[in-house]
Amino acid sequence: METLRNRNVTVWRAGSATCFFSIVAFMAICGMETAAFGQTTYTWTDADWQTAGAQLWSDASNWNPNGVPGQICTSCSVSVPNVSITGQTTFPIQDVSLTLQNLTIGNQQKVAIQSGNSLTLTGNTLHGYVQMVYGGGLGLTAININGGLTFTGTNSLEGIAMENNSQINGNGTLTNNGTISYGSVAGSPAGLIGANEALTLINNGLISSGGSASDLNLCVNLNWQNAGTLQATSGGTLNITCVGKITQSSSGQISASGSTVVLEGSGVGHLTISGGTLTSPNGGHLDGCDVISTA
């Protein structure tokens, strides 16, 4: 039997008979993703809103088309439009770990990632309010950025709201045009952005650690840029660390407003802050060592 192959069709020749088998057709029939047919977008409908506790992401009936995006597909996108039902919880509760391309959330909506789950994004868009919920000992809550993604926070609520034991990591580039806030519920564990110096951050918005006992760590690589504000406020602490460099534009500032910002390299090298402004209003403190600051 002779087998001939190309991208889409496998041909078997047995004797005088010739058989054709379409790989694309097989993938479509089996529900597999095919780039040739375009990317699927799943839309949140909250179809069973009348059932208490039924707003789970993992409930396939809450989506159009029916299915669990991020599990049935990993290169699909998700839209969470405003769902207005008086007196009802209508936002999706992410109770499973997911991989998606893009996530767009309506300006009066949110997605709540339950403690112990992760949201991995490989595309270029994250828009709206994401709450990273702290659930005690249930484990790490994470957003992983593995593409060149832009976060926009025109949401009237809170942007990305980090709580204890929440992290934003990945090996991609995050451009923040909104607000990323860290607020402690019970003091520890601390929050983290940029584990192992793998994530590149371009900040045009606000990244803030606020509230008593709030402790947010930024692990900087050599390519971080800041044209917005990195701040500690209202008794929070912002730890800017690792062997990296933050290049600030003229509008970029690092601020300890009535709080503490710790600038600290690691045991193997320095942290460099280039340009911009370092400020400590309202009795704040800029602490640390192993820092090189250049104009």
Percent of the residues in the chain that have a pLDDT greater than 70, as a whole number = 79
pLDDT tens readout for residues 197-243: 999 999 999 999 998 889 999 999 999 999 999 999 999 999 999 99
Which is more confidently placed, 74 or 34?
74
In a domain, 56, yes or no: no
| 286 shares a domain with 164 | yes
pTM of the model: 0.84
Closest CA to 119 of 90, 138, 94: 94
In a domain, 8, yes or no: yes
| 239 shares a domain with 148 | yes
In a domain, 270, yes or no: yes
| 119 shares a domain with 23 | no
Range of the domain at 261: 102-294
In a domain, 171, yes or no: yes
The torsion defined by the Cα of 209, 167, 213 and 281, in degrees rounded to 10, comes to -20
In a domain, 74, yes or no: no
pLDDT tens readout for residues 244-273: 999 999 999 999 999 999 999 876 778 999
pLDDT at 286: 94
> Measured on CA atoms in the order 238, 166, 155, 151, is the torsion positive or negative?
positive
Which is more confidently placed, 96 or 294?
96
| 281 shares a domain with 178 | yes
| 117 shares a domain with 34 | no
- For residue 94, what are the β-bridge partners? 113
Q: How many residues are there in the chain?
A: 295
| 167 shares a domain with 26 | no
In a domain, 76, yes or no: no
Closest CA to 67 of 110, 114, 33, 27: 33
pLDDT, averaged across the chain? 83
Which is more confidently placed, 233 or 184?
233
Q: How many domains does the chain have?
A: 2
